[in-house]
Amino acid sequence: MKLTETVQTADFKSEKHVPSIHAEKADGVLKITSWVGEEIEHPNTLEHHIAWIKVFFKPEGAKFPIEVGSYEFSAHGEEELYTVPRVEVEVKTDKGGEVYALSYCNIHGLWENAIEC
């Protein structure tokens, strides 16, 4: 089995593991926000948490997406502190394209989402 065959997808409004993506473009800057738990909150406990989110951008005409951010979350209940798996990144570009987000749950594995912008 290939790793890509283990990546799961769904609608983030019905599945708490799918990273949501919002992208706004203004004055040559693409602002990307991605998080897990927009509609259905993810528990984010020591036993069950989102460990990381990676964000990619594939400009129009490009062959491959480019990783524009990689974010690890490490506070999962220590001293009553819990990380909210939400990230923002800004990319300078005049091109449109596709934004991808990939997240990892320590129990339920890899999840992805993509939007055009």
Any catalytic annotation for residue 79? no
DSSP 32-65: EEEEE-SSS-----SSS-EEEEEEEEEETT-SS-
Q: Is the pLDDT of residue 55 over 90?
A: yes
Is residue 68 within 8 Å of 32, Cβ to Cβ?
yes
Q: Catalytic residue among 15, 25, 98, 117, which?
A: 15
Q: State the pLDDT at residue 21.
A: 98
Any catalytic annotation for residue 76? no
Instruction: Say how many domains are in the chain.
Output: 1
Domain containing 72 — which CATH number?
Answer: 2.60.40.730
Non-local CB neighbours of 112 within 8 Å, separated by 6+ positions: 7, 8, 9, 18, 19, 100, 101, 102, 103
Any catalytic annotation for residue 42? yes
The backbone torsions φ and ψ at residue 33, rounded to the nearest 5 degrees and listed phi first, read -120, 130
- Alpha carbon of 84 to those of 11, 38, 46, 75: distances in Å? 20, 10, 13, 9
Domain assignment of residue 11, given as a range: 3-116
pLDDT digits 0-9 by tens, 75-113: 988 888 999 999 999 999 999 999 999 999 999 999 999
CA distance 102 to 12: 12
pLDDT digits 0-9 by tens, 7-33: 999 887 888 899 999 999 999 999 999
Q: State the pLDDT at residue 77.
A: 86
What's 81's DSSP letter? -
Q: State the pLDDT at residue 60.
A: 97
Q: Catalytic residue among 25, 31, 108, 117, which?
A: 108
Q: State the pLDDT at residue 15.
A: 84
Q: State the pLDDT at residue 13.
A: 80
